[in-house]
Amino acid sequence: MAARATVYLDHAATTPMRADAIAAMTAALGVVGNPASIHSAGQEAKRLLEESREQVAATLGADPIEVVFTGSGTEAVNLAIKGLWWQRQATAPGGSGSRPRILVPGGEHHATLDTVEWLRAHEGAVVEELPLDELGRVRVDALAAALDRDAASVALVTMLWANNEVGTIQPVAEVARLAAAAGVPLHVDAIAAYGQLPIDLHALRAASGAGPATGLVAISVSAHKIGGPVGIGALVLDRSARLEPLLHGGGQQRRVRSGTQDVAAAVGFAVAASAVHARLGEDAARMSALRDRLIAGVRAAVPDARLSGDPDPAGRLPGNAHFSFPGCEGDSLLFLLDAAGVAVSTGSACQAGVPEPSHVLMAMGRTEEDARGALRITLGHGSTEDDVDAFLAALPAAYERASRAGLAARATSFDR
């Protein structure tokens, strides 16, 4: 029962750091010099940093100057949403308070949900939640209607590129077109999508007819989801866009993000980004095939299991499978699979590690009982058929036992 996981299928939480990224990062840790220093040591550090920025920019269809390194994906999301919010308030032609609306789909990551909630509570933002369809895709017609209702009063639109829990790929191109046409800036949280789907800022801006500082202007990504180190992310910020910084200080990175830059982490990030980008298509195809094998296997083993998200393989992240097991607690399944040596996720957990019914499934109109039985299985670049088969071998017994344990809220045989 105390066996530790040997099969890792929670790559959406974090994925193992690549060996080439570890090697490059540890070598860079030995380099002395602050990239802001003028002497030769500083210049050497700066060279490594900027080479890394160029490599990351190339994987995102952006210019190097448009890549702002942050301390995490969460920081990138906060910087985009709050920074754009304050900048849009300061420049509103109608004056303060004339541009209070933030349009955001339900089922977003907490980095977004809690940030817009903070802006609502502290800064007077009017947060309008856009509905999801039953597959977890934002209702584009609802967005169009919200923009039609007075686009001048919208501060920004923010959304996921692909949902981190159920893997549904969002209609980013359509949303970008609508935002561009309405003259509203759009931020996209691509943390779950990066390394699995092609992301190209300039191409998408051109295709959607974005004008200066409007349409798609910002994309958030994180290194540790693609085999880079934890502790570095990036906000890709179109050169035409301005935002208010969250951190004030030395004025590094376009004065958008002050703080001494982490050269070694940037090097590790860049090596991982370049390696993943070079094989993006073939790796995505390989992962999709593994995922489809996994989904078919779950359906064969547990016919009652319900796949969440898009059943069309093209509509979901190549590495994502997400099921609800009726009559089970997700945390029972997680425990039993963990004991059998397979690491998976229930999708979301709060700070204390308490499993909560998935807010994503709730936003998709599912019942709380359905949401309680959720299990997310996510593949990474190193995942193999053996990993999938080990999960499928452990699942039936775990499901049988978890069904017996049932739902925590029900009456028990010990009740009197």
Query: Using the rule CB under 8 A, which residue among 32, 38, 314, 354 binds other proteins?
Result: 354
Q: Which residues contact 306 (CB under 8 A, 6 or more apart)?
A: 323, 324, 325, 326, 370
Rounded CA-CA distance 387/384 in Å is: 5
Query: Using the rule CB under 8 A, which residue among 133, 304, 356, 369 binds other proteins?
Result: 356
For other proteins, give the closer residue by CB, 110 or 286. Answer: 110
User: Cβ of residue 371: shortest distance to other proteins, in angstroms?
Assistant: 12
For other proteins, how many residues bind (rule: CB under 8 A)? 28
Is position 371 an interface residue for other proteins (rule: CB under 8 A)?
A: no
Beta strand residue intervals within 71-120, DSSP E: 101-105
Neighbour-count burial of 120, counting CB atoms closer than 10 A to its CB (0-12 exposed, 13-18 middle, 19+ buried): middle
- The count of other CB atoms within 10 Å of the CB of residue 17 is 18
Interface segment toward other proteins; rule CB under 8 A; list 159-167, 276-284, 299-307, 335-343: 335-343
Rounded CA-CA distance 364/324 in Å is: 13
Catalytic site residue 350?
Answer: yes
User: Which residue type does 185 have?
Assistant: P
Chain residues 11-70 in contact with other proteins, contact rule CB under 8 A: none
User: Cβ of residue 337: shortest distance to other proteins, in angstroms?
Assistant: 12
For other proteins, give the closer residue by CB, 32 or 411. Answer: 411
Is position 339 an interface residue for other proteins (rule: CB under 8 A)?
A: yes
Query: Using the rule CB under 8 A, which residue among 338, 364, 374, 380 binds other proteins?
Result: 338
Is position 406 an interface residue for other proteins (rule: CB under 8 A)?
A: yes
User: Cβ of residue 331: shortest distance to other proteins, in angstroms?
Assistant: 6
For residue 184, the 8-state DSSP code is: -
Is position 415 an interface residue for other proteins (rule: CB under 8 A)?
A: yes
For other proteins, give the closer residue by CB, 40 or 412. Answer: 412
32: phi then psi, degrees, rounded to nearest 5:
-90, 140
User: Cβ of residue 123: shortest distance to other proteins, in angstroms?
Assistant: 23
| Structural contact between residues 300 and 388, judged by C-beta atoms closer than 8 angstroms | no
User: Which residue type does 245 have?
Assistant: P
156: phi then psi, degrees, rounded to nearest 5:
-165, 165
User: Cβ of residue 142: shortest distance to other proteins, in angstroms?
Assistant: 29
Is position 1 an interface residue for other proteins (rule: CB under 8 A)?
A: yes
> Residue 25: which region, alpha, beta or left (left: phi > 0; alpha: psi -120 to 50)?
alpha
Is position 332 an interface residue for other proteins (rule: CB under 8 A)?
A: yes
Q: Kindly state the tokens that stand for 385.
A: 């058929």
Of 359, 356, 355, give the one whose Cα is nearest residue 335: 355
321 beta partners:
377
For other proteins, give the closer residue by CB, 73 or 355. Answer: 355
Q: Which residues of 224-249 are buried (b: 16+ CB within 10 A; e: fewer)?
A: bbbbbbeebbbbbbbeebbbbbeeee
Interface segment toward other proteins; rule CB under 8 A; list 52-60, 202-210, 220-228, 329-337: 329-337
Interface segment toward other proteins; rule CB under 8 A; list 119-127, 176-184, 307-315, 330-338: 330-338
Catalytic residue among 350, 352, 354, 409: 350
Query: Using the rule CB under 8 A, which residue among 335, 341, 362, 369 binds other proteins?
Result: 335
Count how many Cα atoms sit within 13 Å of the Cα of residue 254 in the half-sphere of its side chain: 20
Query: Using the rule CB under 8 A, which residue among 263, 336, 364, 371 binds other proteins?
Result: 336
Of 151, 147, 104, give the one whose Cα is nearest residue 129: 104
Helix, strand and coil in the chain, % to nearest 5 = 45, 15, 40
User: Cβ of residue 406: shortest distance to other proteins, in angstroms?
Assistant: 7
Dihedral sign, Cα of residue 255, residue 14, residue 167, residue 278 = positive
For other proteins, give the closer residue by CB, 110 or 139. Answer: 110
User: Cβ of residue 73: shortest distance to other proteins, in angstroms?
Assistant: 22
Which residues of the shown chain bind other proteins in the complex (CB under 8 A)?
1-2, 4, 329, 331-332, 335-336, 338-339, 351-356, 401-402, 404-406, 408-409, 412-416
Residues serving a catalytic function are: 350
